[in-house]
A and B are shown apart, each in its own frame.
Chain A
Amino acid sequence: MDAIEVEGLKRRYSKGFEAVRGVSFSVREGEIFALLGTNGAGKTSTVELLEGLARPSAGVIRVLGFDPYSERKAVRPRTGVMLQEGGFPSELTVTETVRMWAGCTSDARPVEDVLAQVGLSGRRAGVRVKQLSGGERRRLDLAMALIGRPEVLFLDEPTTGMDPEGRRDTWELVRQLRTAGTTVLLTTHYLEEAEALADRLAIMRSGRIVSAGTPEQVVAERPSNIRFTLPDGMTPDALPVSLPAATLQGQRVEIRTPQLQSALTDLLLWARQSDVELQGLHARTATLEEVFLEIAQSPEDDEDEPGALPQDKGQDTAGEKEVERV
């Protein structure tokens, strides 16, 4: 049994807007799973259903084998939740807030321990919530999510508003939790966060998952690219047929290929045999960022959005430009 199982999940709001449109995935025990997507992609709407805050319009959710909405009592003692936005009474101090939460949690850890774990102990513990910075509020939220030693942890944009150091600390903490066997589902719009933490991830767009797998698998779905400049007077037609090349501008050429190594080998062997110097040679696999941007910019399946694709007009935007295959 996986720690989280989601099948055909849909969420329609009362005004008719369908924020989640048939999402299925599973998170294995002890795994860090990241949900990526631009704002409005449906990440939080999905996570709230997993947390059991609302009943889905359709689909099945199992968290540790239970329905988080109808079997709330069975699930809650074993999950920890960090909401996207605080939810603390502004006039309570940090300690008072965590103490209240500890009282609502079975087998809670000592308040001082969790505050120390997230770096909010000492002087900051006596400060009222309304005086905390955005990053400190995220730390407080994390402390509350951790107080019950959760088996499954939901982190909705855990590092938004944190400074770089706070972000590193939080990543390190999340990695330690994984080592201890905690299953973590996190949403984020920081790609580096997903790359740094996630064992597997899913990219959402308009309420659907459009790409999922390990970061390597997701990146592998997009071809790697090789770029170079051919000598004057030489066209891409001169290249071996195994290398489908496209002209970017002038003599600058791009090859997009799912097999970077063999394509590069072919190219270099051809260049040596033909005695061609490839100026500005550059080869790399796709990055998560490229995959993400491509998904975010591509038109929606069921709503035609002409102009969402960058048209071939700018010269400097070659890196992001969709290039016609030859």
Chain B
Amino acid sequence: MTTTDAATVKAPGKVSSSARGRRLRALGRAELTLLMRNKAALFVALATPALLTVLMRQTAAGMDLKGTGLSMGTVLVPGSIGYVLVFAVYANMTGIYVTRREELVLKRLRTGEASDNEILAGGSLPSVVLALGQCVLLLGGGALLLELAPPERPELVAAGLLLGLVMMVLLAALSAAFTRTTEASQITSFPFMAISFVGSGIVVPLDVMPDKLAFACSLLPVSPLMELVRGGWVGTLSGTDTLKALGVALVWIVLAGLGVNRWFRWEPRR
């Protein structure tokens, strides 16, 4: 055993972006290792979006899409982004945050130099990067298989995707705040998943709904993301609609962020 040299005094309070990057990398790397060792979670995150997209083909084929400017392909392929966001990011991260909290990992991390935001962000990095890769594959692969024209407004597709990733991570942290155990996270994450599938245009585009219902549904968290991705792909989104979608998404992100700040628990209830 050797002794440490405690005389080395570090500069206090120095925030350097490289130190932040190093911390995020370290947290992300550990979480990636854990994700790779959790085969069940990995399978759900990777396989479900592709599987559901294929299964929904029949539903999409039976829709009356006259006057919406959509086709079976432009219903189906952007819809796959919704599955990725909700399954691979939201549901997955809810479970991860709860598990790390119950293992006292979050509490321990807070005794170190990483800030609260870095701890939450670092833990989400592997899931977010994986989801990004999945989206690129699903969009590219789907478009190729179904012979879709390339996106008219790729920047809107990208905006929808990126805002979606941020929103899902925050909503996952918020759900984790109200979840006591890893097992319970499968129940607590269900309402949001159900509402999103039914009401946010993942499966059924809002364009085919009655106007009043469509308007109410367009205010749900995932709806603006789907509007940006789908509308951006086919190029039918007006300037007003684009601003509204961006606005709704940002409002949800801010609300989720405030909620996390207010309710997130860093250690188990006693």
Contact = CB atoms under 8 A, between A and B. Distances in A.
Interface string A1-35: 00000000000010000000000000000000000
A102 interface: yes
Nearest to B96: A89
A83 B57 CA distance: 52
A73 B19 CA distance: 12
A107 B104 contact: no
Interface string A81-114: 1010111111110001101111111110100010
Contacts of B13: 71, 73-74
Contacts of A194: none
Interface stretch (A145-153, A221-229, A243-251, A296-304): A145-153
Interface in B220-247: none
A91 B3 contact: no
How many B residues touch the partner, as a band?
35 or more
B108 A117 contact: no
A101 B112 CA distance: 8
B26 A102 contact: yes
Contacts of B7: 180-181
A150 B112 CA distance: 11
B34 interface: yes
A76 B11 CA distance: 11
Give the interface centre of A85, A86, A89, A102 by most chain B CB atoms within 10 Å: A89
A100 B110 CA distance: 13
Contacts of B9: 78, 151
A233 B63 CA distance: 111
B8 A107 contact: yes
A105 B8 contact: no
Contacts of A107: 8, 10
A180 B26 contact: no
Interface residues of A, number: 56
B153 interface: no
Given A78-B9, A88-B105, A179-B3, A103 B37 contact: no
Nearest to A176: B3
Contacts of A76: 111-113
B33 A180 contact: no
A146 B37 contact: no
A103 B103 contact: no
B19 A180 contact: no
B8 A149 contact: yes
Contacts of A109: 4
B5 A149 contact: yes
Contacts of A83: 104, 107-108, 111
A182 to B, nearest CB: 4
B26 A104 contact: yes
B105 A149 contact: no
User: Closest 10 interchain pairs by CB?
Assistant: A103-B26, A87-B108, A87-B104, A81-B111, A100-B30, A74-B12, A74-B13, A176-B3, A182-B6, A180-B3
9 contacts: A74-B12, A78-B10, A81-B112, A89-B105, A92-B34, A107-B8, A107-B10, A151-B9, A182-B6
